[in-house]
Structure 1
Amino acid sequence: MAQYKGAASEAGRAMQLMKKREKEREQLEQLKQKIAEDNMVKSNIDKKFSAHYDAVEAELKSSTVGLVTLNDMKAKQEALVKEREKQLAKKEQSKELMLKLEKQKEKKRKEEQKRKIASLSFNPEDEGEEEEETEDEDQDYLPAKKKLGKNPDVDTSFLPDRDREEEENRLREELRQEWELKQEKIKSEEIEITFSYWDGSGHRKTVKMKKGNTIQNFLQRALEVLRKDFSELRSAGVEQLMYIKEDLIIPHHHSFYDFIVTKARGKSGPLFSFDVHDDIRLVNDATVEKDESHAGKVVLRSWYEKNKHIFPASRWEPYDPEKKWDKYTVRIFLFFLFFFFTNIVFGGNITQVSLKASFKFNLIVNLIS
């Protein structure tokens, strides 16, 4: 028996190479056999069918002599076809059985070859010494296994946690539903809207609306109230009316709720306050911003188009949610107008302005607003 003298690692490497080459050779043989079988099946399939029917026809001719009925002919033909199919099936089974036997033989041959390769003898003394040396070296350099555990003091709140996320989502959904219910409750609250139908002079009216109603809903309600007193409104529709609040033209799709929640401000006063009151703390000081709201104006669009170059319509402009009004302007403008008027009448001596003139000034401001 052949003997290999050398290091055990080299012998193992040689054995691995031999196994690898044998495996590659087996795969190549299997691939060749499969390609050959496929080609054989494709080339012989037509021949099989033609040979099958030729054999049936020849046997049918030899077995039928003389005149026979059509039914007998068909029955004879069916019987011959079935018999021929049985014969072909047996042949196929025998072929498959032969292939299986050949595969088993090939498998046994390969196992025998592997067993022979594994039984190659080496020098037992050298191999034993080398194995002992390698085992000693492995034991010397084998590191001690450390048992790892979790540190309970480490902050793990940033790590993903399915239970915590589900709890947060549930709490977020509860808060969202609670907030929506609260907003719906606010929208259903009633407020009193004081407005003035403006046709060059003011005609004040009051209606009750819900905070969730839009300006279009409000104008429809105001139109129902005003039609009884103003003939020009009897044929008018909501789309022909405009709502002016604090010198801003408010679009119909906005709701009172929008202005209340955002605490919106206009040019001359707050947009979120729809009742009318005077701030009695600062009645006589026109230079200080007052906490009072002005009645919104309801006007016909046709009237506005004719008079938009005349005060107060000349001050009106479309409402822009992005534009912020930090200071109200109408009081300062009227104060300088009043100052100019008194300066002309009294020759620059403002101390001569009487309480009556001051009262008239506040009256003019309230009428304009």
Structure 2
Amino acid sequence: MDSSNPSSGAPSRSETPNPANRFTSQNATAEDLLRSQTVGLVQLSDFRKRRAEALEQKEREAHDLALGRLSTPGSGASTPRDGQPTSKPLRKKKKIAKGKVSFGYDDEEEESGTSAVATPRSKSPENDTASKKKLGPNSALGVIPKTMTKSALLREVQQREQLRKEFMAIQEVVKATEIAIPFVFYDGTNIPGGICRVKKGDFIWFFLDKARKVGAELGVGGDKGRREWARVSVDDLMFVRGEIILPHHLDFYYFIVNKVVGFSGLMFSYSSEPTTKPEVTKETPSDLSNYDPLSKPGKKAPVKQIPDEELEGFNDDPTVTKVVDRRWYERNKHIFPASVWEEFDPTKDYTKGIRKDAEGNTFFF
């Protein structure tokens, strides 16, 4: 048996061609490429684009084949004949650049140039740019808060304390401002009571105590009434502003600063701003070297009193403020106008709703 002829049982090192493909063309035409890339219904513009790409690819392959870069599958270059070994393609050696400083820009340009020549359809430049984009930590946060140091926290506490002192000083100045409240004594008829000077920080009961003394001095109700006004207690008197009975424990500053509204507008239309600039006292260490425990405090200079005509509220209607004996109110609260008076409720809006008397009758005025 000839040694040149290998036995049929010996394994063949070369790839055996498929018999089914012996009579078919191994070169895929542009129509085959277009048919493999087009699946299902496709828009006309997309179909034309893919056909142009297939024709361009076939022209490129034909040009490379003419230059000898490619070999046809049927030329036998891939399968050795007569035991001749296949020649391996030569690899180009990379030249090592010496003495050059590179920052990666040239490599990126070369990569972009090669990818532009042969880019598979599965990848697109958008995906490449998205993969190269780097995201910083906590990119969802708009503004990163700065860390507060001990000195910054201490400075913030000092600023808050300074603002608190300024606000307290403004409050003290406003509460110390005097106002004039004209009033009448009411027992079914309006009896002039004059004007009471009070401060915005005084309580309602303080005004009633002053009004009680004025009633005793004026002798409201005759000689017998004078004695009754001298013996009456503040708890037996009522302060009626408009048609609302104000409680004794509230001060005028509460109604002024909150701008409390009654049935006919603001209860007290006085200013809540200080008339003079408040002075914030700074704590200074006292000098104990000149301290004399036996020294007497000096006399205070007399404060100039502002005339009543220049005070807020001097020109108000005196019938709006009524000083009423509670015992008279209990006997006549079913009679107008006492039947429409209401106890003050800070949660109630007096500008809305239907007004009714104590028996539930609706008013039409």
Q: TM-score band, normalised by the shorter chain? A: 0.3 to 0.5
TM-score scaled to structure 1, two decimals?
0.42
TM-score, with length taken from structure 2: 0.42
Q: Which has the higher contact order (CA 8 A, sep 6+)?
A: 2
Write 1 or 2 for the structure with the bigger share of helix: 1
